[in-house]
Structure 1
Amino acid sequence: MTAHARLSPSGADRWSTCTASVALLDRLRGNGTIPERDSSEWASEGTVAHEVREICLDFGLDPHHFVGAVISADGFTYTVDESMADHLQTGIDWVREHTGTPHVEIRVDLSPWLPGQFGTCDTGWIEGDVLPISDLKYGAGEQVDAIGNKQLRLYALGYWHYAGRPAVKSVLMNIDQPRAGGMKYWEITLEDLLAFGEEMKLVYAKIMSGDVEFKPSTKACRWCEVRKAPGGCAARNQWLDQMAEDRKNPVGLSPERRWYIVQHASEIRAWLAELHEESLRAALDGNPDPGSKAVAGDLGDRYFTDAKKAEALLTAALGVDAYKPRQLIGITEIEKQVKPGKRKQGHPETWAELLTLVDRAEGKPKLVPADHLKPALKPFADQFDDL
């Protein structure tokens, strides 16, 4: 079992915002209300990807050398395939473009800012007056931004300390998330990084002194284990319940409050799903919520218990009509089979011609915070101003 710091970089969005969560988690873990961290299949897949990346950077290999290798992590077993190798290659190539001697998977000490705390920095090096670090996120479910990322800044502080506190001018932070957004970057001055370190000192002092508060937010609550406790987190429940109550305001919501609720819509949906599961579990345990009961659900989709036998019967009766009409495989699958790579020949000429035929539909407008990097869309009427 990998050791975890009490104030780990990966949990910084929680403990640096909702400072009261630290003692609460200690208590709930101590009395067994929250079980010890269990690894998931997806987390273990990420561990395997990190292991392949580490060996490649340490020994000058490419991930395609590992295709077919069987690797176990946290009770799960994976066979490295072409897809994982392709996903890892871009980030590895980027590191190699900048350095031949990176420090990989190193434990960094955060004690100067968070006494007794530590983290594991995926990759770091010094390049002139710049300190770059790169962090692999192999998950595909949720995009992780580099900009404003507290976890990255803590890794950067730890690596700067590990490297002997070099007199660099800036810190370049990279998120390598090949299955959700690709390569993402954020560069800040060393001065800004050290100012962030001072902020973390103040947070640590508050936590240690007990001057804490519950402060729910989407980022703070996203991976907080208090959600697994019976009844969930009282502070989060109250926060979400208040947003739900605001909708009943007969006067209507202010634009500011409306946007605040829209920002946290995903958290509200997740909370409703959790309430549904708790209510269903109570009913199945024989203690249904008043006015509810558990019943058998609708039957699922039909399927053949013996697919090969069904295929034989259908082809004997219908011939070629037993099959759907042929259709092209998707572009992602085409890329895997046709695109040339370091360890596969592919079909270079076909791939080049196919690229001239590929297009993408315009994305639908979406709401983001005002400080988002993309420029705001003009109101429809304003688009005619220049005509």
Structure 2
Amino acid sequence: MTAHAKLSPSGCDRWSTCTASVALIDKLRGDGEIVDRDASEWSAEGTVAHEIREMCLDFGFDPHHFVGATISADGFTYVVDDEMAGHLQTGIDWVREHTGAPHVEIKVDLSPWLPGQFGTCDTGWIAYWPAFSNALYISDLKYGAGVPVDAIGNKQLRLYALGMWHHLGRPQVEKIVLNIDQPRAGGMKYWEITLDELLAFGEEMKAVYAKIIAGDVEFKPSHKACKWCEVRKAPGGCPPRDRWLLEMAADAHPDLPNMVIPGYERQNLVGERRWLVVQHASDIRARLAELHEESLRAALDGNPDPGSKAVEGDLGDRYFKDAKKAEALLVGALGDEAYQPRKVIGITEIEKKVKPGKRKQGHPEAWEELLKLVDRPKGKPKLVPADHQKPALVQWEDDFDDL
């Protein structure tokens, strides 16, 4: 078996929805048209964060013990700083509040539901309480800041919970608490379900597996299914996804010339159809950007799309080739006028420099006084799926002022 399970928990949003992607990815891998994604600076940073978290939970360290340490991962090297230590401490403290002996970075077997498949669970444990409310806890660190990950409805966490429950001998528990620890994008997030609900999900996954094995599969694009799918980057991309996005793009731009899409008629943008377009606007924009780059590359390669050509673009922004020499000349000519007016650093930078910590003295008195001056405006209303954990917001116009 390869180092990664074919039906891995991390890819569950893809293979459990777009079941035809499993065989297609296997074929494209065999043909050499897609390969494993190279490690990036960001994924390597996440690996470092996981390693620190693991050592803290296994050996009783705190993240600040690693500040200044140099750790390498996937060809990249990091010096652990106070910021990373602070981000990791909250989740580690939460785990310790509930258990003194967590299972950390455990390979869990998913064979009862997905034969031959497995996953690596960040952290799991059973909390035994006096009043018969034993609970299975799963905590998963997501160190990335770009894409917030929700705990509610999370398929990856539910697969980890199934594997950990099986690993621990299938104990009777009253509830399962699923936690996403994403310190740079929303902090600690939770979802609580019952064992019956977890096992019902396991049966759903068992049925998905049976369909994949039997070849009873379909292409079913969606935001979550497509986001990290390798087919997107294969030559020619993914035709079912392109069709799905094209149909929504046609809806979003009814003034465009008619697009010939067999079997498809445009609909007025109201209700569910409008929300569908809004919900996937980022996917549409991202695909349009990809198509632009592909079309430009074809033109630069001497094979432009009919009706297009590549030309030299506008000149970029001006810059000094020797910034220090330019600065010296400006100061000689203008004196202090060569510099922009000074301004106070931002609150995030202030927190780094002023807030006291376990490994830095900071400026405690100034920090306490500054906190009294900090305020934040209310966020603007935003659209989210109906099952989002926040209550619905309805703003009523005050039509009765004159009365």
TM-score bin, normalised by smaller chain: over 0.9
TM-aligned CA distance change 1:250 to 1:282, over 3 Å: closer
Write the letter of the residue equivalent to 2:105.
Answer: E
Q: Which residue of 2 aligns with 1:33?
A: 33
Q: Which residue of 2 aligns with 1:77?
A: 77
Task: Report the 3-state secondary structure (helix = DSSP H, G, I; strand = E; otherwise coil) of the residue aligned with 2:126.
Answer: coil
Task: Report the 3-state secondary structure (helix = DSSP H, G, I; strand = E; otherwise coil) of the residue aligned with 1:120.
Answer: strand
Map 1:92-241 to 2 at 5 A: 92-128=92-128, 129-241=134-246
Q: Which residue of 2 aligns with 1:61?
A: 61
- 1:8-43 deviations in whole A, cap 9, x for unaligned? 000000000000000000000110111232111111
Deviates more, 1:77-86 or 1:149-158: 77-86
Matched, 1:338 2:354: yes
C-alpha displacement of 1:376: 1.9
- 1:294-338 deviations in whole A, cap 9, x for unaligned? 122222222222222222222233222222111111011111111
Write the letter of the residue equivalent to 2:271.
Answer: P
8 Å contact from structure 2 (residues 250, 266) kept in 1: no
- 1:91-135 deviations in whole A, cap 9, x for unaligned? 111111111211111111111111111111111111110111110
- Stretches of 4+ moved more than 6 A in 1? 382-385
Structure-2 separation of matches of 1:141 and 1:275: 23
Matched, 1:310 2:315: no
Write the letter of the residue equivalent to 2:19.
Answer: T
- 1:45-75 deviations in whole A, cap 9, x for unaligned? 1111111111111111111121221111111
Matched, 1:328 2:344: yes
Matched, 1:367 2:372: no
Matched, 1:42 2:42: yes
Deviates more, 1:65-74 or 1:184-193: 65-74
Q: TM-score, with normalisation over the residues of structure 2? A: 0.92
C-alpha RMSD of the superposition? 1.8
Task: Report the 3-state secondary structure (helix = DSSP H, G, I; strand = E; otherwise coil) of the residue aligned with 2:232.
Answer: helix
Write the letter of the residue equivalent to 2:295.
Answer: S
C-alpha displacement of 1:254: 3.5
C-alpha displacement of 1:251: 6.7
Equivalenced residue count is 385
C-alpha displacement of 1:192: 0.7
Task: Report the 3-state secondary structure (helix = DSSP H, G, I; strand = E; otherwise coil) of the residue aligned with 1:145.
Answer: coil
Matched, 1:258 2:274: yes
C-alpha displacement of 1:382: 6.4
TM-aligned CA distance change 1:250 to 1:216, over 3 Å: closer
Q: Which residue of 2 aligns with 1:277?
A: 293
Deviates more, 1:140-149 or 1:32-41: 32-41
Q: TM-score, with normalisation over the residues of structure 1? A: 0.95
Q: Which residue of 2 aligns with 1:296?
A: 312
Q: Which residue of 2 aligns with 1:7?
A: 7
C-alpha displacement of 1:197: 0.6
Structure-1 separation of matches of 2:315 and 2:62: 48
Task: Report the 3-state secondary structure (helix = DSSP H, G, I; strand = E; otherwise coil) of the residue aligned with 1:198.
Answer: helix
Q: Which residue of 2 aligns with 1:287?
A: 303
Structure-1 separation of matches of 2:11 and 2:98: 29
TM-aligned CA distance change 1:250 to 1:80, over 3 Å: closer
Structure-2 separation of matches of 1:199 and 1:229: 30
Structure-2 separation of matches of 1:365 and 1:188: 29
C-alpha displacement of 1:157: 0.8
Task: Report the 3-state secondary structure (helix = DSSP H, G, I; strand = E; otherwise coil) of the residue aligned with 1:125.
Answer: strand
Task: Report the 3-state secondary structure (helix = DSSP H, G, I; strand = E; otherwise coil) of the residue aligned with 2:299.
Answer: helix
Write the letter of the residue equivalent to 1:374.
Answer: K
Structure-2 separation of matches of 1:284 and 1:384: 63
Structure-2 separation of matches of 1:323 and 1:315: 8
TM-aligned CA distance change 1:340 to 1:379, over 3 Å: same
Write the letter of the residue equivalent to 1:269.
Answer: R
Write the letter of the residue equivalent to 2:221.
Answer: P
C-alpha displacement of 1:263: 1.3
Q: Once the two structures are aligned, what percentage of the paired residues are identical?
A: 78
- 1:224-271 deviations in whole A, cap 9, x for unaligned? 010001221011011111112334378733322111111111111111
C-alpha displacement of 1:383: 8.6
Write the letter of the residue equivalent to 2:62.
Answer: D
Instruction: Structure 1 unaligned segments of length 5 or more: list them.
Output: none
Write the letter of the residue equivalent to 2:316.
Answer: G
Task: Report the 3-state secondary structure (helix = DSSP H, G, I; strand = E; otherwise coil) of the residue aligned with 2:313.
Answer: coil
